[in-house]
Amino acid sequence: MSHDDADDAHEHRPAQAHSHGHVHGGGARAGARHAGKLRLSFILIVAFLVVQVVVGLATNSLALLSDAGHMATDALGMGMALAAISAANRETTADHRTFGLYRLEILAALANAVLLFAVAGYVLIEAVRRFSDGPHIATTPVLVVGVLGLAVNVVSFVLLREGAKESLNLRGAYLEVVSDMLGSVGVIAAAIVMRITDWGWVDPVVGAAIGLFILPRAWRLGRDALRVLVQAAPEGIEIGELRDALLAQPGVAGVHDLHVWTLTSEMDVLTAHLVVAGGHTTQAVLDGARTLLQDRFGLAHATLQVESVVDHTCDDVDW
């Protein structure tokens, strides 16, 4: 459902319109819709993390400890994600927070990326230190825990896959689970190879491989979170194309002070000033612009200020 609220243009008071496909207070955001699955994944990860740490310390396996460190960031990241989702979807918020707490989900995703970088860095440094003097590894418990870890991560992968398509916050948790799942595969492979060959150097090599696998995923998650925080235009929306499309609308003589940004996952926002040519009604211009933004660019939440072509009050407003 959508609605418009427009005033006819007056001599010195430009008309404004605000349209959106849904009211913020009604309907859960992407993160909230999948919070139950995220919570179940969180419980599974925390429970298995304890097992991983105990066995990793007992066996002195870097591959297992690196996977445990990664799983610890999974748990911490999921905990932050759940807290952010809960805060962002409160029905009541302080009056001074006019956008609510939606950005907490993006901050949680950025914190997740930082944690992933930290874990990857530690694992790589420790792998280099151990490579020339690898300790003896008890392979049987490492293999058992690796298999159990793979099972836990596969369950979490299935639980989070759908939500990761809709929420940047859940995508952070999902990417961690995916990389941790492959890390478990590495732990299993390392345990099998060491059991057969007694090559101790395999353990730090697998640990380093897990660290290297984490880095590009951490970079992409952090980049996407920062893109939202600096209020860059959403990916897939070319500002020049959008401006030209608005200018091509009947009755639009000019467009200025155009801004498009993402508030949080599934919430892209636009504001703009439209100059209306003579002979065209304000309502017709607003209706045409609203339909264009919704149907062509997927921008359901737009605030448009409409100005007469002879009114130059807002000519200097263009950040």
Q: Kindly state the tokens that stand for 132.
A: 């020339």
CATH numbers and ranges of domains, the chain: 15-24+233-308 (3.30.70.1350), 34-229 (1.20.1510.10)
Within the chain, which residues score under 50 in pLDDT? 1-14, 19-28
Query: What is the Cα–Cα distance from 251 to 247, expressed in whole angstroms?
Result: 9
The pLDDT of residue 29 is: 54
Query: What is the Cα–Cα distance from 183 to 177, expressed in whole angstroms?
Result: 9
The pLDDT of residue 213 is: 77
Which tens digits make up the pLDDT trace of 144-191? 888 888 898 888 888 887 777 776 667 767 777 877 787 788 888 888
The pLDDT of residue 27 is: 40
% of the chain surpassing 70 pLDDT: 76
Per-position b or e across 193-223, b if 16+ CB within 10 A of its CB: bbeeeeeeebbbbbbbbbbebbbebbeebbe
* Residue where the block lists tokens 């002070």: 257
3 state SS of 302: strand
The pLDDT of residue 92 is: 55
Per the prediction, the chain carries an average pLDDT of 76
